[in-house]
Amino acid sequence: MKKTVLTLALAALLTSTVFAEPQTLKENEVEDIVIKIHDEAQQGGYELLSVNELNQMIASKENFVLIDAHPKAQFDSAFIDGASNFEFQGTFTHKWHDDAPGGSQEAFKTLLGDNLNRKVVVYCGGNKCGRSNTAALWSKELGYHHVFRVSSGIAGWQDAGFAVKTNQK
């Protein structure tokens, strides 16, 4: 299982725009990011999901809720079709008012729905963005059993060539 999670994390990292930055990451830097993402998922009790797996879930019309953890302005510029926006901070503090400037805990629960067995999929900007980790941790904290994080986020989604929506005119 650990090998599968590390493989997914590495695949997500490799599909991210993190490599489009002017400098290329060194192998040890890639390794550090992969281990960090793996450890966050393991400690948080949620699973990692690749953009290809998310695309398959969408194509098969699987029943799940998709949360983009960006601030509203970033969400409006590019989001995955079907995603709802709820802003989270990049660092989990265990304090709702610090972690979730996007709204109340009740509003987030309403967005996720009453079925604690429904799949919850969260994403943010990419492998260096911690907002999706915070969203996943709060989903677990609120009792949702099947929580997934797409660590490569919207950057990985776009790098894979999948379409995005926008609310900008």
Identify which of 169, 108, 111, 120 has the alpha carbon closest to the alpha carbon of residue 144. Answer: 120
Range of 23's domain?
Answer: 2-159
Question: Is residue 165 situated within a structural domain?
Answer: no
Question: Is residue 147 situated within a structural domain?
Answer: yes
Question: Is residue 38 situated within a structural domain?
Answer: yes
Q: What's this model's pTM, rounded to 2 decimal places?
A: 0.86
| Full DSSP string of 34-60 | HHHHHHHHHHHT-EE--HHHHHHHHHT
- Buried b or exposed e, range 18-37, using 16+ CB within 10 angstroms: beeeeeeeeeeebeebbebb
Question: Is residue 164 situated within a structural domain?
Answer: no
Q: Is 128 exposed, middle or buried (0-12, 13-18, 19+ CB in 10 A)?
A: middle
Per-residue pLDDT of the chain (169 residues; tens, 9 = 90+): 444 444 444 444 444 444 444 568 799 988 999 999 999 999 999 999 999 999 999 999 999 999 999 999 999 999 999 999 999 999 999 999 999 997 999 999 999 999 999 999 999 999 889 999 999 999 999 999 999 999 999 999 999 999 999 998 7
Question: Is residue 166 situated within a structural domain?
Answer: no
Total number of domains in the chain: 1
